[in-house]
């Protein structure tokens, strides 16, 4: 997608054993970079970095982003940081509010402090379309009306964004803030496609669906997501760059159920819990305007349906992964 | 300004011994409320709550907002929280980045956790116009284009806003988030009017001015600010209310210097350090569109010039205050 030489030699990846982090690690290694992976293994999956660990240009450090001292030491020698560590399960924000704050906000502060200490040139951060709250403009562009936060997850990620942008302004490191829709594909281990597949394995004849199934969702395939991140850190022009990542389509949860059951050859009866939201704080519709990243020359290669099917295919081939998350 | 009965009986005020906090405490006491003041006295000034402490409807608790346990205990019995505790000196954000995060973000998290524990009905929060960063729209309305943060102070306050809004959404307490311009008036003990007065006392013949003096600034008189807060918590209609506070005028630092020196009868030579910003991260122009709070029926009573003159008059009568801050 780009012919420019990649302007970094040593990448530091937090959340390196997670879904997106490990996929990024493998891509960076394949590009010939030296990669330092950092993960506290609270939700990281050892199998995801098993191949990477066989390579001489990969170093893995087990540690928590909240441990600024260990983080700073591990980051030595890197020139770009991909900060993907996060509290990924957004449904429990109201049960464990401190977790979002610690992992997504204070953790991000720790990462930028370590980055400053190490003279890091650039930092890429996985934020979320949830920062738009109940967006009045859909598809939602990066400069949408200043939103009111509706979830702790979104609020804690927005706080991380703000800290990174302020550090870019104050200390000169460049930043790349990505507001993701939901990502799926190989190594996807949470969210509704995962939940549906797991439920259908247990009982192929019925499927409980949170909400009314009409919730509209936008997804992006994980390799398209990685393409976008690598393209942006090479092509985005500003000191601080905020970029939506997503496809230009959306689906309803019901569409996704149809693709999943069709792919598996199942016809379960569907039981809806009702209401227009899957859980309190769930946003009924996140659909992002991606004109900005497209203007830099990136395009997604897969449709949402392709992504859902690749996810199911991977889960079918890696049933062990179904047991790794509650 | 309002004839509605005030719908709260017991107010809890963080930062109660600060400039704005202590002024609010006195107003709430005069309205007949029971008031619990909470302050860690790191920058709070004992004299500001000396009168309050003589009243039977005031309780003072010395404690830090980061001490959630002490905070929760102190808050017992309150029905509204005014969260004004903050790291107020925004110039040192880059020297002590953790301070903004701790006092403005983690401190706010602690306050809303204590509020949830105590079943608080409403929370009012002092945010800042700095959250708009380099606003492309001036005067800037609350729903201006989603800004990129340019200061740690703004970022840490925006993080506090987000946490409060998410708690309102998730736990049902109402919230009132105020984005202030700079506030001045009686008990003002930091910022440029304070600095200029102190410098002029030391040497009435010359005045050093950070930047080029052309920085445009908007100010609001502290009693107008308190009027607005009390009016909003009675009249703002939403679960989460975000409201700009300011006057519909602005001045240049040079105007302010003219009013100060005119009021004092001095004619110092002016020495400019140069550049269009007073310090790194200083925003050259914060000017807020206050149509939203005005639509609720509030108007400021004083002009910026009135506010500057009342500030100087108070400082002249209370020279002890000049020594309380570095």
The domain total for chain A is 2
pLDDT of residue B278: 63
Per-window interface: A 184-243 vs B, CB < 8 A = 240, 242
A153 is catalytic: yes
Q: Which of A319-323, B226-230, B248-252 has the lowest mean pLDDT?
A: A319-323
Q: Closest by alpha carbon to B76, among B36, B40, B111, B118?
A: B118
Taking CA atoms, B95 is separated from B81, B89, B91, B191, in Å, by 31, 11, 9, 18
Looking at residues B206-230, what average pLDDT do you find?
94
Residue at A158 is within a domain = yes
- Considering only CB atoms, which chain B residues are within 8 Å of A113? 97-98
pLDDT of residue A326: 44
Residue at B89 is within a domain = yes
Whether residues A196 and A55 fall in one domain: no
- Considering only CB atoms, which chain B residues are within 8 Å of A106? 101, 106
Whether residues B87 and B172 fall in one domain: yes
Looking at residues B52-73, what average pLDDT do you find?
97
Residue at B5 is within a domain = no
* pTM attached to this predicted model: 0.93
Residue at B139 is within a domain = yes
Whether residues A168 and A254 fall in one domain: no
Q: B8-57: per-residue pLDDT in tens?
A: 999 999 999 999 999 999 999 999 999 999 999 999 999 999 999 999 99
pLDDT of residue B256: 95
What the block records as the tokens of A97 is 């509010």
pLDDT of residue B17: 97
Whether residues A316 and A171 fall in one domain: no
pLDDT of residue A239: 97
pLDDT of residue A191: 84
The catalytic site residues of B sit at 153
Q: Where are the alpha helices (DSSP H) in chain B?
A: 19-30, 50-53, 68-75, 97-100, 107-117, 152-171, 192-202, 222-235, 253-264, 291-295, 304-317
pLDDT of residue A88: 65
Whether residues B259 and B152 fall in one domain: no
Contacts of B282 (CB under 8 A, 6+ apart): B91, B211, B215
Chain A contact present for B143, CB below 8 A: yes
Q: Which of A157-166, B47-56, B159-168, B187-196 has the lowest mean pLDDT?
A: B187-196
Whether residues B242 and B254 fall in one domain: no
Residue at A4 is within a domain = no
Chain A contact present for B172, CB below 8 A: no
Whether residues B113 and B230 fall in one domain: yes
CATH number, domain with residue B76: 3.40.50.720
- Considering only CB atoms, which chain A residues are within 8 Å of B133? 165
Residue at B4 is within a domain = no
CATH number, domain with residue A318: 3.90.25.10
Query: Residue B124: pLDDT above 70?
Result: yes
Whether residues B143 and B180 fall in one domain: yes
Whether residues B118 and B259 fall in one domain: no
Per-window interface: B 13-72 vs A, CB < 8 A = none
pLDDT of residue B284: 60
Average pLDDT, chain B: 93
The interface pTM score, or ipTM, of the predicted complex is 0.91
Residue at B1 is within a domain = no
Query: Residue B282: pLDDT above 90?
Result: no
Chain A contact present for B117, CB below 8 A: no
Residues of chain A with pLDDT under 50: 1-2, 326
Most B CBs within 10 A among A160, A162, A165, hence the mutation to make, goes to: A162
Looking at residues B131-143, what average pLDDT do you find?
95
pLDDT of residue B190: 84
Query: Residue B326: pLDDT above 60?
Result: no
pLDDT of residue A156: 95
Whether residues B202 and B238 fall in one domain: no
B318 vs chain A: nearest CA distance in angstroms? 36
pLDDT of residue B98: 87
Cα distance between residue B30 and residue B230, in whole Å: 13
Whether residues A257 and A147 fall in one domain: no
- Burial group, residue B298, by CB count within 10 angstroms (0-12, 13-18, 19+): buried
Other Cβ atoms less than 10 A from the Cβ of B2: the count is: 13
Residue at A5 is within a domain = no
Whether residues B223 and B202 fall in one domain: no
Domain range for A117: 10-184+219-249+294-302
């Amino acid at each position: 997608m780009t012919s420019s030489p990649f302007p970094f030699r040593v990448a530091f990846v937090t959340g390196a054993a997670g879904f997106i982090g490990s996929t990024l690690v493998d891509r960076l290694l394949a590009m010939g970079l030296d990669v330092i992976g950092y993960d506290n293994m609270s939700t990281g999956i050892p199998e995801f970095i098993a191949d990477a660990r066989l390579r001489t240009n990969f170093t893995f450090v087990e540690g928590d982003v909240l441990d600024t001292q260990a983080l700073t030491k591990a980051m030595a020698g890197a020139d770009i940081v991909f900060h993907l560590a996060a509290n990924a399960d957004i449904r429990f924000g109201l049960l464990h509010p401190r977790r979002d704050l610690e992992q997504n906000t204070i953790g991000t502060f720790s990462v930028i402090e370590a980055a400053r200490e190490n003279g890091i040139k650039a930092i890429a951060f996985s934020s979320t379309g949830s920062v738009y709250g109940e967006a009045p403009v859909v598809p939602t562009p990066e400069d949408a009306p200043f939103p009111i936060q509706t979830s702790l997850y979104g609020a804690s990620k927005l706080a991380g964004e703000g800290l990174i942008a302020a550090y870019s302004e104050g200390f000169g490191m460049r930043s790349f803030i990505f507001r993701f829709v939901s990502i799926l594909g190989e190594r996807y281990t949470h969210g509704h496609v995962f939940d549906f597949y797991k439920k259908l394995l247990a009982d192929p004849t019925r499927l409980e669906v949170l909400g009314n199934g009409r919730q509209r969702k936008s997804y992006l395939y994980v390799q398209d997501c990685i393409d976008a991140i690598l393209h942006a850190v090479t092509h985005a022009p500003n000191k601080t760059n905020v970029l939506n990542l997503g496809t230009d389509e959306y689906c309803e949860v019901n569409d996704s159920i149809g693709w999943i059951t069709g792919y598996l050859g199942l016809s379960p009866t569907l039981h809806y819990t009702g209401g227009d939201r899957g859980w309190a704080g769930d946003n009924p519709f996140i659909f992002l305007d991606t004109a900005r990243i497209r203007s830099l020359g990136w395009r997604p290669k897969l449709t949402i349906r392709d992504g859902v099917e690749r996810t199911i295919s991977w889960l079918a081939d890696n049933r062990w992964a179904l047991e790794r998350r509650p």
